[in-house]
Amino acid sequence: VSHQRSDWISIHSHICHLLAPVLGPQPCFHSEKDRKHGKEQLLRRQESLIAVTLSTAQGLVWAGEPLEAIPAALQALRFSSQVFSSDSLQLVPIYLLLAEASTGIGRLRQAAKYLSQAQWIILQTPDCSAALQSKLHRGLGLFCIAEGNLDQALYHLANDVYLATVEFGLNSVEVSGGYFNMANIFFQQNKIDSANSLYTEV
């Protein structure tokens, strides 16, 4: 009952009215034109569900409610898998979000599985953008921080900064997250000069 309640509060109250046209039986079309139109309409509805579930999950993570974010992110993963396939790059941001939420509630083993899935998809896609690779390294870095493996975290966050710089430029806002997380680690290690230098950069 508690799972159903959190699922309802997290996402189903937002998407309930959108589910029936997508999950229910599809109408039978008599012409190729109608079939094509029906498929396009179904795809638009599925994309709408993905957008709602993903933005809801992201909002809950940012609001500091990782447990509530998980049902919404799982729905985003479900619909994205149907629309794009299970090894599509479109799934990587969702896996990273699920990993962040799982880490936030202390489910590190589950977070590791989500990160592995995201990493596998990226490794299978040679033309993956530097921006998405940057997000993966940031996710891996934050996971290593949660595990207490600070040296490995610094390695991933340095890759995050490098890849974000490649994609967006040296002085872009996108680079600042990696610097900030690295500064926090240096501060934790009592390397105050390094930490202050990076905080200033942010």
The string of pLDDT tens digits covering residues 98-115 is 999 999 999 999 999 999
pLDDT of 16 reads 53
pLDDT of 77 reads 93
Q: Do residues 100 and 66 lie in contact, with contact meaning Cβ atoms separated by under 8 Å? A: yes
pLDDT of 170 reads 87
Residue 130 CB-density burial (10 A; 0-12 exposed, 13-18 middle, 19+ buried): middle
pLDDT of 177 reads 93
Q: What is the mean pLDDT of the segment spanning 159-187? A: 95
Q: Do domains 1-22+33-127 and 129-201 have the same CATH topology?
A: yes
Q: Using the CB atoms, write b or e for 141-153: b if 16+ within 10 Å.
A: bbbbbbeeebeeb
Domain ranges of the chain: 1-22+33-127, 129-201
Cβ atoms within 10 Å, residue 104: 18
pLDDT of 88 reads 92
Q: What is the mean pLDDT of the segment spanning 5-33? A: 55
pLDDT of 15 reads 54
- The string of pLDDT tens digits covering residues 25-75 is 555 656 676 666 556 766 777 788 888 888 888 999 999 999 989 988 998
Q: What is the mean pLDDT of the segment spanning 175-198? A: 95
Q: What angle do CA 167, 55, 25 make, to 5 degrees?
A: 120
CB contact set of 18 (below 8 Å; sequence gap of 6+): 45, 48, 49, 52
Distance from C-alpha of 103 to C-alpha of 87, rounded to nearest angstrom? 23
Lowest average pLDDT, out of 6-15, 22-31, 44-53, 82-91, goes to: 6-15
Band (11; pLDDT cuts 50, 70, 90)? low
Q: What is the mean pLDDT of the segment spanning 188-196? A: 95
pLDDT of 8 reads 46
Distance from C-alpha of 202 to C-alpha of 41, rounded to nearest angstrom? 44
Q: What is the mean pLDDT of the segment spanning 164-188? A: 94
Which of 104, 3, 95, 93 shows the shortest CA–CA distance to 61? Answer: 104
pLDDT of 4 reads 52
What are residue 125's phi and psi, to 5 degrees? -120, 90
pTM of the model as a whole? 0.81
Question: In the CATH scheme, what is the code of domain 129-201?
Answer: 1.25.40
Residue 144, pLDDT > 90, answer: yes
Class of 1-22+33-127 per CATH?
Answer: mainly alpha
